[in-house]
Chain A
Amino acid sequence: MPAWYEGDHALSEIVIVGGGPAGMAAGVTAAGCGRQVTLLDDNPSVGGQIWRGGNSETSPWFEKLAQSGVAVQTGSRVISADAVKRRLLVERNAGVEELRYSKLILATGAGEFFIPFPGWTLPNVMGVGGLQALVKSGLWIAGKRIIVAGSGPLLLAVAAYLRKCGATVVLIAEQADARALGAFGLSLAAHPSKLWQAIGLNPFIRGMRYLSGCWIERANGLGKVERVVLRRGQKVWEEHCDYVANAYGFVSNTELADLMGCEIESAAVKVDKYQKSSLEDVYCAGETAGVGGVDTAVLEGQVAGYSTSGRFREADNLLGTLRRARSFAARLDVTFKPRNELRSLAGPETIVCRCEDVTLERLKCADSWRSAKLHERCGMGPCQGRICGPAVRFLFGWEPASIRQPVFPTKVANLIRVESGKVGR
């Protein structure tokens, strides 16, 4: 490990990993306090998932970031980090570079939560945000038949977006039952602006088939998905489609924080009221510190921006608003909690780990995440358990074992460069 860090390195006062709403807000805030800030993001542009392909019309934070003086580095992936030496190893197309920080803000966001079912590995079965991301990045879906399924308010937002792009949304299957949704609707009265967001959305949602207590049991097709089998109570039927957008909410991307040694609690990075993790000088904001939605992410980013700049009074002023935003997120969590029936969707032959093609049957021979990794290679592929880890947790209750560097696969050439000290600018 030490040899990884012997080259020259770049230095930035505050480094932010992740350019979604939390990272953008954190960067703008810290730069506004006169700090020198570097913002790293793996994607071709900032905005994260929710503001993907966005601009100043999407959110004022795009313009604020452009004016802030924050050094934005896209296409930059952090593959390793050392909290003791305060250094990051950043991979770009051009190679690797070390970046040193005084304070670090992790805003690595969240990924979608997938529950394996027969046929979920067929091409064109994707995440809900996953399909939306692809459409936002140029996929043409006009005239395509799409089934949107899983759980959470994102289903509605994405269905509306897909229809706006000319797709036929066959139906929306929401696993939460009508009673939970009704209770959620009532609770929304306390959050009027959210009410519009979640239900009012826009005219594109009108007349769409929205089925509560309904989920996909199986996907069928030759070479790609062609049909899905849906269940609602005792009713089981088939629908034809070109794409399936299916996910059951979100899981925090905690890999980097975990690698650095930050305390993780309930699958998210544990932070104090100033967004500081259990490690000195490592802060965390947005979905990485607990899935809470975009409003929470922006507020947490601002709090982290202020607190890393030593401006605690300004941070304090935001805490009341942040508390209210979080209470909404907590309601979401209860309403859209995946039901027990979803634990029995996968059959013995269903693949759980997509990278290594590990079936449910093979996992039943293991007794922990560690033994599943060692004996069955579950979670040992390129995604490093990012997709199957949360699924295995849901299905078996196993907690993920400790993460190792590099947190993303990298080229051997990059490791050799690091090993021989040939990193830096």
Chain B
Amino acid sequence: MRDVALTVNGVTVTVTEGTTVAAAILTTGVATFRRSVSGEPRGPVCGMGICYECRVTIDGQSHARSCQILCQPGMKVTTL
């Protein structure tokens, strides 16, 4: 398996190819992916793309469901 390097909040992370963005974020120790409408910290729940709690910004695109997207080399991921 190849390694893939991406950044999470500016910090470079190297993961195995096939890792989802959500798994990469959690592995770095970040638990808060987004803020809820009332400002609460939130992170992934369902792991399968239906709860929308794992939304982050990927390469400038907001509201990306990180549990359904595989890490790509050079990806820039931002959580809130």
Contact = CB atoms under 8 A, between A and B. Distances in A.
Interface of A: 42-44, 49, 53, 111-112, 114, 121-127, 129-135, 137-140, 223-224, 253, 351, 354-357, 381-383, 386-387, 409
B23 A138 contact: yes
Contacts of A134: 20, 22-23, 26, 44, 47, 67
13 contacts: A121-B40, A122-B41, A123-B32, A123-B33, A129-B46, A129-B48, A130-B51, A137-B67, A138-B20, A139-B23, A224-B41, A383-B50, A386-B51
B31 interface: yes
Report the 8 A-B pairs with minimum CB-CB distance, sorted nearest first: A138-B19, A133-B47, A123-B43, A138-B23, A123-B31, A130-B47, A224-B31, A382-B52
Interface string B51-71: 111010000000100011111
A123 B23 contact: no
Nearest to A359: B38
A112 to B, nearest CB: 6
A135 B27 CA distance: 10
Given A44-B70, A138-B15, A224-B31, A111 B36 contact: no
B31 A124 contact: yes
A223 B31 contact: yes
Given A123-B43, A386-B51, 5 more contacts: A44-B69, A129-B47, A133-B46, A223-B31, A355-B52
Given A43-B68, A133-B67, A387 B51 contact: yes
A69 B59 CA distance: 35
A63 to B, nearest CB: 19
Interface of B (DSSP majority class): loop
Interface residues of B, number: 37
B27 A121 contact: no
Nearest to A253: B50
Contacts of B40: 121, 351, 357
A127 B32 contact: no
B77 interface: no
Given A137-B20, A354-B53, A357-B38, A387 B45 contact: yes
Nearest to A222: B41
Contact of A387 (B16, B26, B43, B46): B46
A356 B37 contact: yes
A224 B44 CA distance: 12
Interface in B1-52: 15-16, 18-20, 22-24, 26-27, 31-33, 36-38, 40-52
B72 to A, nearest CB: 11
B47 A111 contact: no
A129 B48 CA distance: 9
Nearest to A221: B31
A141 to B, nearest CB: 9
A354 B53 CA distance: 8
A187 B55 CA distance: 43
A43 B42 contact: no
Nearest to A356: B37
Contacts of B15: 138
B46 A111 contact: yes
A123 B30 CA distance: 9
Contact of B45 (A42, A130, A351, A382): A130
Contacts of A356: 37
Contacts of A53: 18
A60 B47 CA distance: 25
A137 B23 contact: yes
A133 B50 CA distance: 13
Contact of A112 (B16, B46, B55): B46
A138 B40 CA distance: 26
A122 B46 CA distance: 13
A126 B52 CA distance: 13
Given A44-B70, A357-B40, A387-B51, A125 B46 contact: no
A357 B43 contact: no
Contact of B27 (A112, A139, A224): A139
Contacts of A387: 45-46, 50-51
Contacts of A223: 31-32, 41
Looking at B23, B27, B50, B63, the one whose CB has the most chain A CB atoms below 10 A away is B50
B50 A386 contact: yes
